[in-house]
């Protein structure tokens, strides 16, 4: 297949490109490098451009296409930032995506795999979140992704555009061969922040220990980046035989508190990890854990990284050898 990876210079997109290329597929990467890294584009041709620029979009599809499948990872994705700068989130994540969809239709492209998020669920009232749960986002980031999910349903109904939305819970880990990994600036995610503190690059802060959880810290579902990449591949295959606008929750189905992750990291790095407890971070739900049985059943997808230490090891090795 020839696959267009929008946002292929970013954390999840770059792992997707490696995965696709290992499976023998041809990859074209499109990215505006606002948060991605040119040095993370190691597989396929790189086209620099912006989904907010309709000319960039049209040139991409007309000159580089046709593509058998489009995977769309371009987004702004920080919950806290989205509360302060909602316009950027609605512009990039919603308007940018509409540009992509309209260009796909104009150029005869009908299959899309879209990056969605657990943030569409807001504050859930169940322990395990399946696809039946109401989507009630509590921040503009989650809201922007929910809007696109709804747009994709309408575009299927009206224009026959087929899509799969994959709602990631906590994407983490790195390529075990260490060619690529996670690097955000600023870094806000828990595991890289723990590992940075081990290297004395920053002090580890635990945001809140008074949540209604077993140890008072937030519980999340951590899923390895290569398991996410595998799910995208299966979602692409699914679209070859299914005509609809689908959505699947992707996680391991196990909840780990912030303290659990720190303890597992201590095992991985081999010594104590000091931290301070700070106030709660704005917009953090207490517990977010996926019920991924629908993806398991429909996509025949199952995560391979089920032990949290195995996931952290890949992030730790990457962190010690960063090649960007």
Listed ranges 43-51, 59-67, 149-157, 284-292: which one lies at the site for ligand UFG (CB under 6 A): 284-292
Cβ closer to ligand UFG: 111 or 115?
115
Listed ranges 3-11, 37-45, 117-125, 235-243: which one lies at the site for ligand UFG (CB under 6 A): 117-125
Q: Rule CB under 6 A: is residue 77 a binding residue for ligand UFG?
A: yes
Cβ closer to ligand UFG: 109 or 220?
220
- Is the CB of residue 37 less than 8 Å from the CB of residue 184? no
- According to CB under 6 A, which residues from 157 to 196 bind ligand UFG? 170, 188-190, 193
Q: How many C-beta atoms lie closer than 10 Å to residue 22's C-beta?
A: 10
My answer on whether omega of the bond before 232 falls inside 30° of 0, hence cis, is no
Q: What is the end-to-end Cα distance of the chain in Å, rounded?
A: 28
Q: Rule CB under 6 A: is residue 206 a binding residue for ligand UFG?
A: yes
Q: Rule CB under 6 A: is residue 141 a binding residue for ligand UFG?
A: yes
Nearest to 167 by CA among 34, 35, 291, 300: 291
Cβ closer to ligand UFG: 90 or 207?
207
Size of the site for ligand UFG (CB under 6 A): 21
Question: To 5 degrees, how large is the angle CA 261–CA 225–CA 234?
Answer: 135
CB of 284 to ligand UFG, least distance (A): 5
CB of 114 to ligand UFG, least distance (A): 14
Whole-Å CA distances, 213 to 22, 168, 204, 232, 275: 41, 22, 20, 32, 19
Listed ranges 152-160, 205-213, 239-247, 313-321: which one lies at the site for ligand UFG (CB under 6 A): 205-213
Cβ closer to ligand UFG: 213 or 296?
213
DSSP code per residue over 26-43:
EEEEEE--SSS-GGG--S
Spot the catalytic one: 11, 89, 90, 141: 141
- Catalytic site includes residue 141: yes
| Strand extents, DSSP E, the chain | 2-6, 26-31, 45-48, 69-72, 111-117, 162-168, 170-172, 205-207, 219-220, 222-224, 245-250, 256-257, 276-278, 287-288
My answer on whether omega of the bond before 186 falls inside 30° of 0, hence cis, is yes
- According to CB under 6 A, which residues from 92 to 111 bind ligand UFG? none
The token pair that represents 262 in the structure block: 């720190």
Member of 207, 237, 273, 306 binding ligand UFG (CB under 6 A): 207
Member of 237, 284, 298, 310 binding ligand UFG (CB under 6 A): 284
DSSP 284: -
Binding site for ligand UFG (CB under 6 A): 77, 79, 117-119, 141, 170, 188-190, 193, 205-207, 218, 220, 258, 281, 284-285, 288
Residues annotated as catalytic are: 141
């Amino acid at each position: 297949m020839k696959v267009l990876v929008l946002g292929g210079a970013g954390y999840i997109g770059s792992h997707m490109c490696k995965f696709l290329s290992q499976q023998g597929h041809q990859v074209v990467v499109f990215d505006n490098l606002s948060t991605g890294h040119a040095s993370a584009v190691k597989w396929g041709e790189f086209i620099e451009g912006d989904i907010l620029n309709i000319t960039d979009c049209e040139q991409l599809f007309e000159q580089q296409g046709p593509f058998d499948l489009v995977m769309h990872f371009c987004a702004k994705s920080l919950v806290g930032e989205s509360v302060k700068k909602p316009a950027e989130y609605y512009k990039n994540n919603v308007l940018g995506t509409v540009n992509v969809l309209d260009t796909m239709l104009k150029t005869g492209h009908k299959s899309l795999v879209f990056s969605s998020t657990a943030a569409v669920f807001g504050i859930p009232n169940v322990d395990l979140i399946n696809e039946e749960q109401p989507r009630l986002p509590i921040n503009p980031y989650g809201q922007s992704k929910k809007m696109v999910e709804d747009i994709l349903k309408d575009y299927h109904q009206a224009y026959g555009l087929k899509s799969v939305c994959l709602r990631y819970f906590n994407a983490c880990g790195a390529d075990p061969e260490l060619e690529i990994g996670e690097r955000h600036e600023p870094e806000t995610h828990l595991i890289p922040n723990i590992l940075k503190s081990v290297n004395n690059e920053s002090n580890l802060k635990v945001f809140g220990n008074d949540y209604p959880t077993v140890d008072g810290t937030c519980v999340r579902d951590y899923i390895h980046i290569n398991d996410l990449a595998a799910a995208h591949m299966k979602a692409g295959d699914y679209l070859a035989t299914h005509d609809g606008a689908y959505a699947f929750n992707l996680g391991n189905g196990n909840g780990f508190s912030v303290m659990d992750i720190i303890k597992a990291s201590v095992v991985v790095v081999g010594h104590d990890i000091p931290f301070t407890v700070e106030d709660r971070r704005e917009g953090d739900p207490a517990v977010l854990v996926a019920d991924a049985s629908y993806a398991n059943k429909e996509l025949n997808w199952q995560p391979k990284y089920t032990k949290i230490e195995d996931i952290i090891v890949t992030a730790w090795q990457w962190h010690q050898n960063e090649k960007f």
